[in-house]
Each structure stands twice: as C-alpha cells, then as structure tokens.
Copies of this chain bind each other. A is one copy, B any other.
Amino acid sequence: MRKINPHDFKVARRGTSREINRQIALNLIRTHQPVSRADLARLMNVRRGVASLLVSELLSESLIFEGAMGESVGRGRRPTFLFIDSRQRCVVGVDIRATRTYILVTDLMGRQLGVVSSFQTNREVDVLIQELARRIKQILSDYKEVGACEGVGVAVPGMVDPAKGRVMHAPTLAWRDVNLRDPLAVALGIPVQIENSGKACALAQVWATRTDVVAAGSSVFVSVSDGVGVGIVVNGEVLRGRHNTAGEFGHVPLSIDGPRCSCGATGCWESYVSNLATLSRYFGQDLSEQRPRDMETANFSVEDLIARARAGDAKALAAINSTARYLGLGLASIINALDPGRVYIGGEITTAWSLIEPIVRSALRERTLTDFGGATEIHVVPAEDHPRLRGAVALVAAPAFAAPMVA
C-alpha cells in the first residue's frame, strides 16, 4: 500500500500505458531471451497484436533485434526469436579503490567482453581522471570490435551524490566534495555515472541476469574489506536515503565501548570486522593507518592470513574465527532491522567462507529475533564476480530497463 505523494506525482498520459508495457516487454526479453512475439504475449497475458506492436517499437529503436528462426517444438509456424541488441555497443565499468583502480568492458547485458585491467590509484583527482580517461580510450580503441561505448559507470568508496555527479566524502582517498563525473565525461566525450561502492554492489545483484536472483524483492549487499559497505535494496530499488548515505551499517555499534573506529566513534561493526581489524587481531597490535606499519605487517593481507589458517596456524584461525563471530553479530542487526529476503556478502574474508560459515551462522542466530531471521539466506559473492565493477556497469546499462515512474 503506497501513498501517492500529492506534491510529486506523475499523471498517466496518452502514452503511459505503452511506456509501461514497452518496459515490461523489454525486461521479459532480457530475462527470457531467446523469446518470440507469441511467447511475450503469453508471458504478458496480452494479445499477440499488442506484443507485436511493442516489439516493432523496440526494434525501431534497435534495443532488440530479430535473430534466427527457432526450431518449432510441436507443429506450426516457427517463431522468430528476439534478443537484446548488444551488438556493437559496450559499457565501461570502473572501480576506484584505495590502492588500485579497476576497469572492465561489458556489453549491455553486463557480459564481460575483455579482461579486467587495473592500475595504481593516484589520489590526486585531476591526475586520476586524466589517467582513467587515457586508459579507457586506449582500451576502447584496442577492442574496436566491441563498438561504440554507451557510457562509463564508476564505483567510488565513499559518499556519492549521483545526481550532481560529485563525491561528497571519500575518507580512504581523502576526497571531499569532488566533481568526478563531469571532468571525466568531458575528457572522454562519453556520459559518466558515479555511485557509492556498496550501493553499486547491491545494484549489480538487482540487475544480474543470471537467474535465481529475481525473487528477492528486498535484499542487502554487505561488502567487507578495508571498510564495511552496505547496499540496501527495497522493492527492486537501491535505497539512497535523504542525503545519499543510507546503508552505513558499518558504523552501527556492536559495543559503544569498543575499539575506536576510523569514523571517530567507538565500537562500530567495521572496527570489528574490517580487514585491518582482523589483521590487528592476529598481530596483537593496532594497525590503524595513523602509524606506519612495519615490514612484516605492511604487505600482509587477509588472504595471507586465511592461507596460514588453512595451513594450521592456530593464531590465524583464531583471528579469523573472531571476525566470523562479529560478522554474524553484525549481520543480525541488519536482519533485525530490515528483514531482507536475502543477504549477499563479499570481500576478502569470504574466501574463508567454508571455515567461518558455521560460526557466522551461529552468531547470527544468537541475536536474530526470530528463527526466520536466523535462517535468512546468505550468498557469498566471490571476488571473481567483480560485484563493484558489475554494479558500475549497471549504472549505465540498467536505466534503459528501469520501470517508468507512474502515479
């Protein structure tokens, strides 16, 4: 039961029905391709005539194309199959992280076209924008066969205002109120969209084509690495909040008397489960960025820690198990607060999922209010899926498939 906002509504015009049905048809082609006009009509429960008209409109905009005839199953005329037209057009996804920046080229369906390339992140914004522009141009000219680029999506680890194209605050990059979108768009001559990494990850799951992802009307993506990022999806839409800061579960406390967090407060979930927290636990000292790290700890990653744990290092295992427990306790907060249909979790620590899953789950059950909540599906998203890059791509590729605003 949704209330109509009496100060911001959209009246149905003559073309509104068509607009709605056109988008539904487009989405059905996206999820069910290959599919015929007759299939569409059945899926939508409309006459074939209507489906035909919708299809011809989509064809004329070359959003879809007619592929080969399908083999008819029974008897009767063979169907002409329809596909999303992602020939000769591509999208670039960029993932800016504290130390490295990653680039991926995909088609409009989000299918990977090239390899993921990366380079060291220069925190000087202007320099980074120029290098990014140079590299993207290079990649696009190297892979001429991928065709024209429809746009560039950028995931940034920090608070982002996508409407204005500005990064309001990105602590790990020391950026504050930086205009990232427009200079990059100018340098490239291609439209650019930017978004917070956590929200981008959530977006990637919402718009993922492969398959069982659909059901979850609301879900949550938890990304655990240097910090903790959370993207919340409600009714198929990423929750932005009033100031684009929704999803900061990383700074919800486990214990207000806990360790100091980079945000200035104490006892934030992030300060218990971030990679740095896990490593600090192993080395028995505070590794927070203030003081320089010594030789041993400087290039030691959570993956290394997990490797040691798997090799039988009891202290390493203890550190990881401890993180696992705090992970579960924090997830319980998210589940109690939002009761999502599904939780996705990504980050280096998930490479140890087989080790930690029982601990996470039991800690989760310890604090969830209901048995349903404790049993909430948790899906690990491996790093190879590149959720941030996929989300960045979705920033550009998804709007064409979004539901029209109505009422």
Q: Which residues of A contact B (CB under 8 A)?
A: 1-7, 9, 11-14, 16-18, 20-21, 23-24, 27-28, 30-32, 44-46, 159, 169, 206-207, 214-215, 217-218, 232, 234-249, 251-258, 263, 265, 267, 329, 333-334, 336-341, 366-367, 369-370, 372-373, 376, 398-399, 401-404, 406-407
Contacts and interface: CB of A to CB of B under 8 A. Distances in A.
Stoichiometry, copies per complex: 2
A243 B373 contact: yes
Contacts of A3: 27, 206-207, 236-237, 398, 401-403
Contacts of A215: 7
Nearest to A20: B12
A20 B406 contact: yes
Nearest to A272: B256
Contacts of A30: 6
A237 B5 CA distance: 11
7 contacts: A2-B403, A6-B27, A6-B31, A16-B20, A17-B17, A240-B339, A253-B367
Contact of A255 (B6, B18, B207, B256): B256
A338 B239 contact: yes
A197 B11 CA distance: 33
Contacts of A251: 336, 367, 369
Instruction: State the 6 A-B residue pairs at the shortest beta-carbon distance, nearest first.
Output: A241-B339, A12-B17, A3-B236, A243-B372, A12-B20, A246-B339
Contact of A242 (B5, B9, B218, B336): B218
A54 to B, nearest CB: 10
A245 B214 contact: no
A263 B369 contact: yes
A237 B159 contact: no
Contact of A6 (B32, B370, B404): B32
A235 B20 CA distance: 19
Contacts of A217: 5
Given A4-B23, A169-B370, A407-B24, A337 B252 contact: yes
Contacts of A246: 337-339
Given A1-B399, A242-B341, A235 B236 contact: no
Given A21-B12, A249-B336, A255-B253, A376 B242 contact: yes
A245 B6 contact: no
A188 B67 CA distance: 61
A341 B244 CA distance: 11
A98 to B, nearest CB: 18
B247 A7 contact: no
A339 B244 contact: yes
A218 B242 CA distance: 8
Contacts of A206: 3
